[in-house]
C-alpha cells in the first residue's frame, strides 16, 4: 500500500491507472477509521479495479469553537485498518498542500446547505463541497463512496456532481451501527460510558418513528413530537434539530405523501454533537 502526500504524486498515480484502462474507487475520510469506514472501503473495492482513500481533517468545514484541534488522529492505526480491507493507496496531504497561502475559492451548494446541520454549522457544507471537489480533481475517481449517516452531505455532494457535470458516480452506503444501534462515528470516542448509554436514545427514537410510520402515521408533526419526546426523556441529551424531509431534495414536509422520506436529527450528548437518520419508506 502506498502513502502519497503530494498532489503531483497523487495525480500521476491515478493517471497511470486510467492510462491502463482501469477504474478507481475513492472513499474520502478524515481518518481515525472504524468498521463503518472499512465497510465503505469494501464496497468501493467491489466496484472498481483500484481502491484509494483520502485522509484529511479538513479545516474548512469546522467553525469557531468546534473540535478541529481535538479531532482524533492516528495515521499508523488508519494505515493498518485500510490495508486490511484492500486499500492500495492513501492520499494524505497537509493543510498547506490543500489550502496554500492566498487560497480563496470555495463551492457553495445553495439552498440545501443551510438547512438541517447547516443551520447551526453555517460554513460546514461549503467546506465539505470544496474539499470533495478538490479530491475529485486530484484523484479523478470513477466511483466515490459516502456513508448515509451524513445523509445531508450525501445529497449535497450528489447535487454538486450533477450541477457541475463531474464525471464520477456517487454511491451511498447504509449506516453502519454498533451492536446496540449506535451509529458508528469517529466522534463516539469523545463519549464517556454513561454518555454512550445516553446516545442510544437517538436510534431508539428513530426506530419508534419508523414503527409508527409503518403502522400508518404520515403526519410529520406527530412523528417529530414522538421523537422529540423520547429524546428529551434523556437528561443528558440536548436536541439541535429533528426534521423530516423529502429523501431526494431535502424539502421539508408536513405530510409524508411520497414514497420515501428521511427523518434526520442532531443531538448533543454532553459536549459531543451526534447525528443520525432513518429513511422512511412506505
Q: What positions carry a catalytic annotation?
A: 37
**Which residue, 181, 224, 170, is CA-closest to 204?**
181
> Which residues 6+ apart lie within 8 Å of 202 measured at CB?
182, 183, 231, 237, 265, 267, 274, 276
**CA 89, 95, 101, 104 torsion-angle sign:** positive
Q: Look at strands 272-281 and 260-269 and give their pairing.
A: antiparallel
Put the strands of the sheet holding 169-173 in their side by side order: 2-4, 89-91, 50-55, 24-29, 143-147, 169-173
Q: How many helices (H) and strands (E) does the chain have?
A: 9, 9
Cα-based distances in Å from 178 to 25, 48, 260: 25, 27, 25
Helices (H), the chain: 7-19, 35-45, 75-84, 95-98, 117-120, 124-139, 151-163, 193-214, 220-232
C-alpha grid cell, residue 144: 466515490
For residues 276 and 203, the answer to whether their CB atoms sit within 8 Å is yes
- Residue 19, classed as helix, strand or coil, is helix
Amino acid at each position: 500500500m502506498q502513502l502519497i502526500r503530494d498532489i503531483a504524486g497523487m495525480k500521476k498515480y491515478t493517471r497511470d491507472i486510467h492510462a491502463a484502462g482501469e477504474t478507481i474507487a475513492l472513499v474520502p475520510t478524515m481518518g481515525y477509521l472504524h468498521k463503518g469506514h472499512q465497510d465503505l472501503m469494501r464496497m468501493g473495492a467491489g466496484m472498481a479495479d483500484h481502491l484509494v482513500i483520502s485522509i484529511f481533517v479538513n479545516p474548512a468545514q469546522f467553525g469557531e469553537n468546534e473540535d478541529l484541534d481535538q479531532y482524533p488522529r492516528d495515521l499508523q492505526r488508519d494505515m493498518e485498518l485500510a490495508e486490511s480491507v484492500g486499500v492500495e493507496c492513501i492520499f494524505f496531504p497537509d493543510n498547506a498542500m490543500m489550502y496554500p497561502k492566498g487560497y480563496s475559492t470555495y463551492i457553495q451548494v445553495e439552498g440545501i446547505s443551510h438547512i438541517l446541520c447547516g443551520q447551526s454549522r453555517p460554513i460546514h457544507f461549503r467546506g465539505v463541497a470544496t474539499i470533495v471537489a478538490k479530491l475529485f480533481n486530484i484523484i479523478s475517481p470513477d466511483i466515490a463512496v459516502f456513508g448515509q449517516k451524513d445523509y445531508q452531505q450525501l445529497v449535497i455532494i450528489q447535487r454538486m456532481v450533477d450541477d457541475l457535470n463531474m464525471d464520477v458516480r456517487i454511491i451511498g452506503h447504509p449506516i453502519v451501527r454498533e451492536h446496540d444501534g449506535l451509529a458508528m462515528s469517529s466522534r463516539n470516542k469523545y463519549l464517556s460510558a454513561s454518555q454512550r448509554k445516553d446516545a442510544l436514545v437517538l436510534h431508539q427514537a428513530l426506530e419508534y418513528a419508523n414503527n409508527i410510520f409503518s403502522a400508518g402515521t404520515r403526519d410529520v408533526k406527530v412523528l417529530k413530537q414522538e421523537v422529540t419526546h423520547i429524546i428529551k426523556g434523556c437528561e443528558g441529551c440536548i436536541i439541535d434539530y429533528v426534521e423530516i424531509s423529502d429523501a431526494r431534495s431535502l424539502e421539508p414536509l408536513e405530510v409524508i405523501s411520497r414514497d420515501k422520506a428521511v427523518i434526520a436529527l442532531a443531538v448533543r450528548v454532553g459536549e459531543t454533537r451526534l447525528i443520525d437518520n432513518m429513511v422512511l419508506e412506505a
